[in-house]
Amino acid sequence: MAGELVLLDFWPSPFGMRSRIALAEKGIPYEYREEDLRNKSDLLLQMNPVHKKIPVLIHNGKPVCESVIQVQYIDEVWHDKAPLIPSDPYQRAVARFWVDFIDKKMYELGSKIWKTKGEEQANAKKEFIECLKLLEGELGDKTYFGGESLGYVDVALVPFYSWFYAYEKCGDFSIEAECPKMIAWVKRCMQKESVAKSLPDQEKVYEFILQLKKVFGIE
């Protein structure tokens, strides 16, 4: 069932982290391959010709592209351990709605926070916090979005935590001060080995952002 499993990835990518977490939750061995995005491998270009992006999950030589699809695929193929996607169809629809929401908002708003200044940055910060508050509402009093165990929404969202320090430094604000429930949830997730091992150190991500800012000529 396992076959040959390769993950083409890039260490700071929150999308790559999603697949890392899913594979770790289920204890599935795989080969991790770091891509240099300024010099993409032939394998990456062959396996994802449409977007040429990471992460790409290669299972028995066949590519699965897009992190949310990878997580669903991993959950389906290795369904006997640590199920991530709800078994009830309505709960599944709710989870998919929130993953779609996270995909539409988090990366773009986060990028604006570190890339822009002035009014554009201020608006991005405001909207970012609003989104986190909506997610806090969905979490409610649950331990995880998935209930008592890590679920699809948790896996989709928690990787962005590794970028929070970078957002806070660039945007000069505190996410914990605005969204304490979110940070409490993050801390619960980080106690899980599958999450802690899959997320890079926040300071390392911040250094990476500073380098990117230099390269793009952003102050």
Instruction: Catalog residues that contact other proteins under the rule CB under 8 A.
Output: 49-50, 59, 62, 64-66, 68-70, 72-73, 76-77, 89-90, 92-93, 96-97, 100-101, 134
Q: Which is nearer to other proteins, 110 or 171 (CB)?
A: 110
Q: Which is nearer to other proteins, 11 or 73 (CB)?
A: 73
- Residues 6 or more apart whose Cβ sits within 8 Å of residue 112: 120, 121, 123, 124
Q: How far is the CB of 88 from other proteins (least distance, A)?
A: 10
Q: How far is the CB of 48 from other proteins (least distance, A)?
A: 10
Q: Which is nearer to other proteins, 90 or 216 (CB)?
A: 90
Q: Which residue has the tokens 């599958």?
A: 194
Q: How far is the CB of 109 from other proteins (least distance, A)?
A: 15
Q: Which is nearer to other proteins, 8 or 205 (CB)?
A: 8
Q: How far is the CB of 77 from other proteins (least distance, A)?
A: 6
Q: Which is nearer to other proteins, 101 or 173 (CB)?
A: 101
Q: How far is the CB of 179 from other proteins (least distance, A)?
A: 17
Q: Which amino acid belongs to residue 145?
A: F
